[in-house]
Amino acid sequence: MENLQQEEQVEFQEPLVLGQPEEEEKINWGRFALDIVETLILALILFLAINAMSARVRVDGFSMRPTLEDGEFVLVSKMSYLFGETERGDIIVFHFPMNPEEELIKRVIGLPGDHISVSDGTVSVNGQMLNEPYIAATPTYTGEWDVAEGQLFVLGDNRNNSNDSKDWGLLPAQNVVGKAVLIYWPPPLWDVIQHPKLMSSR
């Protein structure tokens, strides 16, 4: 009798032991699915935040040589001019006035109120000749421009091979996307982009 009672007790306990892993498995799968959803939501928030603050732009052409080379990818800060003003010497990305869907990258030379003069291979702002060690070659063209309010005068560092303000005129400040801050691709050319002050700000 004792043996029968022991066997009955064992048989009665077996369903409880077998049922526990199934319940735990259901709980684990539910938690796993919740973790995935939370991760996707966080990734989406980070993606939107990063895109609101920055842009990634591919340099297309040779107008900014030797500072930037064709095919390089540049990180652009959209926040720079929310908390500060554009300065001479800044390298900026902007919507091309002649085709707003196209983005160009150039260096700011003149601010509103400036008088720009190019002659004898030099660029002058308000009568002050700029020291520009970053250009590919001295400009072979001449001209004078007055920068109106709400406008900028921009030039490529490759002065004689650049489509810029000397060709199509002034850039509306509202077209500026942001300030180029970093070359991030290809990796061997990774570098922080320098923005030398060309002259004291007004």
Active site residues: 63, 106
Nearest residue to 153 via CA among 66, 57, 87: 87
